[in-house]
Structure 1
Amino acid sequence: MSRLARTLCSLHGLLGIWLAYCTVQQFRYGEAWAAIVFAAASIVPVISVVRESELADEQQAEAIRAETEARRLAWADEDAAALARAELAAACCELWWTSTGEDHEATCPKNDHRSAA
């Protein structure tokens, strides 16, 4: 949870305590309908704190999910690059590469001349 979210939750908690205090004072010295309104209003900050906590948990879970996906993609990119390096290293010569493995250059070490016999 971020510092701002913690501060907001603390302010909501203080507001809930203040509204609960007002509820008790209204039940003791004031009108009954006002006490009911204060009691209902003191529930709202509690809901806000719960909501902020859930949002912080969801943000943390999303950050972990994004990091995991980025690592997976990085590993896949590294695997593809390693495969490409291996294929390029196994290639004989440019003529072999462009002729799809049928012909070799004269200087190619894998240039094996087969007789037609």
Structure 2
Amino acid sequence: MTRHQLYARTLTTAALLLAAAGIYTGAATAWWMSVFGLYGAAFLAYCARLEYSFHRQQLLAHERARRAAVVQGAEPLIPCCSIWRHSDHAVHGPGCTRPPDTAPDPTAELYAACCAAWFVSRGDTHESTCPTRTTRSSAA
């Protein structure tokens, strides 16, 4: 249990108690007095939602770090290109000098593409500026 989850549970309990007090106050005395309790309950529920969100973000960060440690071993993540840094370490740029990972990469074909039109058309067409301009065999 993270501290955010503890705060979220505390805020949720306080919101429920304040909502119950607001409803009781509205039924027992004047209805306009319940507005303050219900407003406070809504605010505490909003704060609890934010804390639950922070809890999920912290768990996600820990899971990403664990997966990176398992996949990468003890090797630290060294930034190699700007696309890699901005894609949360998932995709390398076309001019990246880092060798492709040893694990099967679903974007390996994209890295090997000679032009964007070739990749989109599965090897049938090329752009006018493409230096290769060879079509893919239908057997592949």
TM-score calculated relative to the size of structure 2: 0.44
- RMSD after superposition: 2.7
Counterpart of 1:21 in 2: which secondary structure? helix
Q: Which runs of 5 or more residues in structure 1 are unaligned? A: 80-117
Runs of 4 or more consecutive aligned structure 1 residues displaced over 6 Å after TM superposition: none
Q: Which residue of 1 aligns with 2:23?
A: 24
| Deviation of 1:23 (Å) | 1.2
Q: Distance in 1 between matches of 2:43 and 2:37?
A: 10
Deviation digits for residues 9-63 of structure 1 (CA, Å, limit 9, x no counterpart): 3321221122112211221233333211211111122222222221111111111
Q: Which residue of 1 aligns with 2:62?
A: 63
Q: What is the total number of aligned residue pairs between the two structures? A: 77
Structure with max Cα Rg? 1
> Structure 1 vs Structure 2: percent identity of aligned residues?
10
1:1-117 equivalences in 2 (<5 Å): 2=1, 4-74=3-73
Which residue identity is paired with 1:21? A
Q: Which has the higher contact order (CA 8 A, sep 6+)?
A: 1
Instruction: Give 1 or 2: higher helix fraction.
Output: 1
Which residue identity is paired with 2:31? A
Q: Distance in 2 between matches of 1:24 and 1:49?
A: 20
Deviation digits for residues 60-98 of structure 1 (CA, Å, limit 9, x no counterpart): 111111222233332768x9xxxxxxxxxxxxxxxxxxx
TM-score calculated relative to the size of structure 1: 0.51
Which residue identity is paired with 2:26? F
Which residue identity is paired with 2:66? E
